Amino acid sequence: MKRLLLIVAIFCIVIPTSVDAQRKKSRKNKKAKKEVQVPKPKPKKKTPKYSDFVNKSTKTDEGLFDVHETKGKFYYEVPNDLLGKEMLLVTRLKDIPSGLGGGYVNAGSKVNTQVIVWERFKKKLLLKVRSFSAVAEDSLPIYKSVKANNLEPIIYAFDIKTTNPDSTATLVDVTKFFASDVKAISGLPARFRRTYRVRRLDPSRSFINAIRSYPKNIEVIQDFTFDADNPPSNQTTNTITIRVNQSMIMLPEKPMMPRIFDKRVGYFTVRNVDYSSEALKADAKQYIRRWRLEPKDPAAYARGELVEPVKPIVYYLDPATPKKLRKYIKQGVDDWQKVFETAGFKNAIMAKMPPTKEEDPEFSMEDIRYSSIRYVASTTRNAVGPSVSDPRSGEIIESDIIWYHNHLRSYRNRYLLETGAANPSARTLDTPAEEIGEMMRMVIAHEIGHALGLPHNMAASYAYPVDSLRSGPFTQKNGIAATIMDYARYNYVAQPGDKDIRFIRQLGPYDHYSINWGYRVIPTAKTPEAEVKTLDKWIEAKGNDPVYKFGIQRGGSGAFDPESQTEGIGNDQVKASTYGVKNLKIVAKNLQSWTSDQTNNYEDLAELYGELLSVYSRYSGHVTGVVGGVAEYNKKPSQSGNVYVTVPKARQKEAVNWLLNNVFATQQWLLSKDILENINPTGYTERMLGIQNRQLYSLLNTSRLQRMANAEVTQKSFYSPTEMIRDLRRGVFSEANAQKNVDVFRRNLQKSFVERMRTLMNTNNAQNSDLFSIIRGELTTLRSQLRTASNRAVNRITKYHYRDCISRINTILDPKK
């Protein structure tokens, strides 16, 4: 038993010790293992190789940048030697939904133009927008300040994937950039987003259509689909899909030598502020926009010989253009060849049909290397001539003339209305094809003028005496205005019986003059400043001839020069409009026989009657422009005469009298029962009041009245606001002194006169000027006159009308009662 107990005791002592020893040994082994265990190395990050992106499955298009497409992703291979180089990025709409922009936006419309540069920053490639609004010579200290205060925005930062095998170019993935809604290159401007209540771009329905690279440019076509609550068409889809074309073109390494703008000759311009100037302020510079025309043979050109340019201006016709119209469009371009000969260049501009697929499989109308004339399937009645230019020099790079399909209908209608009285071939809805073609030719010539850098010149139609427009020999030689760039479309002055009249506009002497001034190379001048002396001489040689006057287009209250009015012809607005209205009266009498009697429906009659009222209103507006008019003659101090010349008092009074007789008096010739009762059930009085109010409000406009008041400072004899408003009040309320009934048209006009006076009294400009006093005085006189007239009014409605006018005047003069 003792032995057994001893064994158990020994076992109890030995076993724990052994177990503990085993545990210690185990911990020791584990510790040892832990100490000797070497951590597994992390896998090295694989350095991307060029072959990971560009390999056998890649489609490569070589050009300005090599463009690679691999597994649905697009990569730009950007050469290092092009980093920092200036390029032009042009965003256009290639295809659009119906109704986008209210009909005045079309396939081919330019949305944005910006100068960009590619720059490397660490592991990124940055796309920046460069501005030329502020510049300085980079060798001057102030250049640093210009850069610091004009930090260039970054459109996008691309991760650098790798370099090409010889490390001469950087590879970036551009897929996300072109497939996302990047606002800087979006085809949907902010105003469209607001109008159509655009919520977002749907990436599942948006993608890159194609990217093509050419030697000097890259063209990207994107398809974008937006969710929109108020799309312009197909509204049940809540969707807008547009196709956008991005053109990136290399700008010339050496910019064209610019030509300094002179406001005496009309040109579109580019502007910048030059801080390199030695003057006491930054020098605002303005250069004209023009194509780079350089003579192939400079020596022959310097001798005065006609020389072809190194690179002519070529326009390609849209293949969608109807065949019967192509020759007229081509003529509209080619007509400028003679004009460029005045500047010393032959074959300087031409129109061609685009090459076939066989001739050039890569030709595209969206390729910015090519200028085009697009034929747009749209109900809009318009044509435009936009262009793209280098902001550094004004060099025009490319342009696209846009012709809307329905535009010829406007020309047919106006041809009938404005020339039908004196022109038998215009008295039809089926205008002869050759005459329609001639109209189209001149519209294209006008738009080409814009694309050459020429803005509207509204003074050119004032250059010719009114009666010369009734002369066959004169109009056949000189047309109806001194330039195609005026809005003088038709000869509405010529009267029945005048012989051999040209009724359609054409290019004129000012076109030759302005192209010579803008495009003739001056071989002896090596800087823009060195050209100025010669350019001045050319202007001053023509300085006193109205044929060579440039008049800027102004609209609304900003218009003050009666010699630069849109749509007018002749140097006497009252005389020209008298002829025009006389012709319209003949047209109005025959409108039914020329339209509804021929078609057996009233649609054309309704359309043309509405346009007849617009033509009549336009003629009236030309006369209104004389009142308070100030002619502008841009001059330098070396030229004689003043820049601003007030229209003589007698002419202004003549204009007011014309308006009283031809606008504010009821025009019964416009109120044919046979027309009105066949086109509208009602609205006759409202329509006529609208025409009258247009001229009434224009006359009683604060800007016009202030010009008339300011004439007191410089003129011995002037037509004052007091006298004009008195003449107007007497004429508009002439029945009050004659015991005559007032017809419904005149009652409406008289109420409108009183209400317009109320508006003028409440304007801030009137409160502290004579205008407040004049209006109060004229309304007081009118109230007294109407009190007497209301007591002897012939019929009841006239009596009620006068009492109503008196009540309105009381409220104006004493609003507290």
Asked if residue 1 has pLDDT above 60, the reply is: no
Say what the pLDDT of residue 11 is.
47
3-state secondary structure of 163: strand
Say what the pLDDT of residue 405 is.
67
Asked whether 630 and 707 are in contact (CB, 8 A), the reply is yes
* DSSP state string for 733-746: TGGGGTT----HHH
Say what the pLDDT of residue 35 is.
54
Written in H, E and C, the secondary structure of 574-621 is HHHHHHHHHHHHHHHHHHHHHCHHHHCCCHHHHHHHHHHHHHHHHHHH
Distance CA 215, CA 110 (A): 22
Query: Which pLDDT band, with edges at 50, 70 and 90, does 497 fall under?
Result: very high
Give Cβ neighbours of residue 796 (< 8 Å, ≥ 6 apart).
Answer: none
3-state secondary structure of 479: coil
Structure tokens at 42: 């992390």
Asked if residue 84 has pLDDT above 70, the reply is: yes
Asked whether 285 and 271 are in contact (CB, 8 A), the reply is yes
| Sign of the dihedral defined by the CA atoms of residues 201, 207, 209, 213, in that order | positive
Asked whether 127 and 158 are in contact (CB, 8 A), the reply is yes
Asked if residue 31 has pLDDT above 60, the reply is: no
Distance CA 435, CA 624 (A): 32
Most confident of 292-296, 373-377, 712-716: 292-296
Asked if residue 738 has pLDDT above 90, the reply is: no
In sequence order, which ranges of 491-569 are alpha helices (DSSP H)? 509-519, 528-540
Give Cβ neighbours of residue 166 (< 8 Å, ≥ 6 apart).
Answer: none
**Comparison of pLDDT for 414 and 366, the residue scoring more:** 414
**Comparison of pLDDT for 403 and 230, the residue scoring more:** 230
Give Cβ neighbours of residue 382 (< 8 Å, ≥ 6 apart).
Answer: 104, 404, 407
Q: What is the mean pLDDT of residues 179-204?
A: 91
Say what the pLDDT of residue 147 is.
57
Say what the pLDDT of residue 110 is.
82
Asked if residue 7 has pLDDT above 50, the reply is: no
Distance CA 482, CA 488 (A): 10
Say what the pLDDT of residue 37 is.
60
Report strand pairing: 349-352 vs 396-404: unpaired
- The string over 141-175, giving b where at least 16 C-beta atoms fall within 10 Å of a residue's C-beta and e elsewhere, is eeeeebeeeeeeeebbebebbbbbeeeebbbbbbb
Say what the pLDDT of residue 377 is.
66
Say what the pLDDT of residue 149 is.
55
Say what the pLDDT of residue 98 is.
83
Closest CA to 459 of 540, 548, 573: 548
Say what the pLDDT of residue 19 is.
44
Say what the pLDDT of residue 274 is.
60
Site of tokens 């020069």: 561
Distance CA 172, CA 67 (A): 10
Structure tokens at 727: 């003449």
Distance CA 614, CA 550 (A): 27
- Could you tell me what percent of the chain has a pLDDT over 90? 73
Give the distance from CA 674 to its chain's centroid: 41
**Comparison of pLDDT for 460 and 36, the residue scoring more:** 460
Written in H, E and C, the secondary structure of 551-570 is CCCCCHHHCCCCCCCCCCCC
Asked if residue 353 has pLDDT above 80, the reply is: yes
Asked whether 605 and 678 are in contact (CB, 8 A), the reply is yes
Query: Which pLDDT band, with edges at 50, 70 and 90, does 307 fall under?
Result: very high
| Mean pLDDT, rounded, of the chain | 89
Q: Where are the domains of the chain?
A: 57-251, 298-411
For 774-805, how does the pLDDT look when each residue is reduced to its tens digit (9 = 90+)?
999 999 999 999 999 998 878 999 999 999 99
Say what the pLDDT of residue 623 is.
98
Asked if residue 24 has pLDDT above 70, the reply is: no
Say what the pLDDT of residue 283 is.
64
- Could you tell me what percent of the chain has a pLDDT over 70? 89
How close are the terminal C-alpha atoms of the chain, in Å?
137
Q: Which helix (H) or strand (E) holds 209?
A: strand 207-213
For residue 319, the tally of other CB atoms under 10 A from its CB is 11
Asked if residue 38 has pLDDT above 70, the reply is: no
Angle formed at CA 613 by CA 611 and CA 614, multiple of 5 degrees: 60
Asked if residue 289 has pLDDT above 60, the reply is: yes
Give Cβ neighbours of residue 672 (< 8 Å, ≥ 6 apart).
Answer: 588, 589
Say what the pLDDT of residue 36 is.
54
Q: Give me the phi and psi of 728, to 5 degrees please.
A: -70, -45
Closest CA to 113 of 367, 385, 389, 366: 389
Structure tokens at 41: 């190395």
In sequence order, which ranges of 37-69 are alpha helices (DSSP H)? 50-53
Between the alpha carbon of residue 248 and those of residues 116, 157, 385, 738, the distances in Å are: 9, 17, 21, 73
For 754-767, how does the pLDDT look when each residue is reduced to its tens digit (9 = 90+)?
999 999 988 876 66
**Comparison of pLDDT for 111 and 764, the residue scoring more:** 111
**Comparison of pLDDT for 135 and 190, the residue scoring more:** 190
Closest CA to 575 of 485, 645, 651: 651
Structure tokens at 551: 């008049």
Distance CA 242, CA 239 (A): 10
**Comparison of pLDDT for 142 and 808, the residue scoring more:** 808
Q: What is the mean pLDDT of residues 578-600?
A: 97
Say what the pLDDT of residue 750 is.
98
Asked whether 332 and 448 are in contact (CB, 8 A), the reply is yes
Closest CA to 216 of 110, 365, 65, 330: 65
3-state secondary structure of 321: coil
Say what the pLDDT of residue 265 is.
96
Structure tokens at 391: 């902001």
Give Cβ neighbours of residue 791 (< 8 Å, ≥ 6 apart).
Answer: none
Asked whether 761 and 775 are in contact (CB, 8 A), the reply is yes
For 645-696, how does the pLDDT look when each residue is reduced to its tens digit (9 = 90+)?
999 999 999 999 999 999 999 999 999 999 999 999 999 999 999 999 999 9
Sheet strands (E) in 8-122: 59-61, 66-70, 73-79, 87-95, 110-121
Angle formed at CA 386 by CA 382 and CA 392, multiple of 5 degrees: 165
Give Cβ neighbours of residue 466 (< 8 Å, ≥ 6 apart).
Answer: 493, 569, 570, 571, 572, 575, 576, 579
Strand-by-strand arrangement of the 269-274 sheet: 134-135, 269-274, 283-288
DSSP classification of residue 99: T
The amino acid occupying position 185 is I
Asked if residue 487 has pLDDT above 70, the reply is: yes
For 614-652, how does the pLDDT look when each residue is reduced to its tens digit (9 = 90+)?
999 999 999 999 999 999 999 999 999 999 999 999 999
Say what the pLDDT of residue 6 is.
47
Distance CA 564, CA 554 (A): 8
Q: What is the mean pLDDT of residues 687-713?
A: 94
For 139-173, how does the pLDDT look when each residue is reduced to its tens digit (9 = 90+)?
556 555 545 556 688 999 999 999 999 999 999 99
Asked if residue 557 has pLDDT above 80, the reply is: no
For residue 437, the tally of other CB atoms under 10 A from its CB is 19
